[in-house]
């Protein structure tokens, strides 16, 4: 999920969307899902990291947060945010380094989702 940074937090519109996921959470529909986040503020120190940490309240759902960490050079080359891809919009459109970090983050999310899905299939087969 992505959100613009608003005063170091997620946007009100995204917060409202997340607030209505209560019935899905209560039914267990969001447990064991993988999630990651990205954001943009007008400058590099505009609250990107705190926005991502606020977004990662996916823990309440029982979701598995997949942050990029420092697991690939693309993260450092894009500014080094281990919580998720972020971009300073005052710099103009995202450049190749930010896009590479975002693509890496997406591949990492897909890989972890695949591992979890494979493990769940294995448990169902063994049961």
Q: How many CB atoms lie within 10 A of CB 108?
A: 19
- The DSSP 8-state label assigned to residue 6 in this structure reads B
CA–CA gap between residue 72 and residue 109 (Å, rounded): 13
Q: 99 has which bridge partners?
A: none
Domains recognised in the chain with CATH numbers? 2-126 (3.40.50.360)
What is the tens place of the pLDDT at every residue in 23-80? 999 999 999 999 999 999 999 889 999 999 999 989 999 999 999 999 999 999 999 9
Helix (H) or strand (E) holding 39: strand 38-41
Q: CA-CA distance, 16 to 109, in Å (whole number)?
A: 24
pTM of full prediction above 0.85: yes
In terms of Cβ atoms closer than 10 Å to its own Cβ (0-12, 13-18, 19+), residue 83 is: buried
Q: What is the pLDDT of residues 46-55, one digit of tens each?
A: 999 999 999 9
């Amino acid at each position: 999920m992505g959100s613009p940074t608003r005063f170091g937090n997620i946007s009100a519109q995204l917060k409202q969307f997340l607030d209505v996921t209560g019935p899905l959470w209560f039914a267990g529909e969001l447990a064991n899902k993988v999630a990651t986040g990205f954001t943009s503020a007008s400058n590099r120190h505009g609250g990107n990291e705190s926005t991502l940490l606020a977004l990662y309240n996916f823990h309440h759902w029982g979701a598995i947060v997949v942050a990029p960490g420092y697991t690939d050079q693309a993260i450092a080359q894009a500014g080094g945010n281990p919580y998720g891809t972020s971009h300073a919009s005052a710099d103009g459109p995202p450049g190749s380094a930010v896009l590479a970090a975002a693509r890496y983050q997406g591949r990492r999310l897909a890989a972890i989702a695949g591992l979890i899905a494979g493990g769940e299939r294995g448990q169902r087969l063994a049961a």
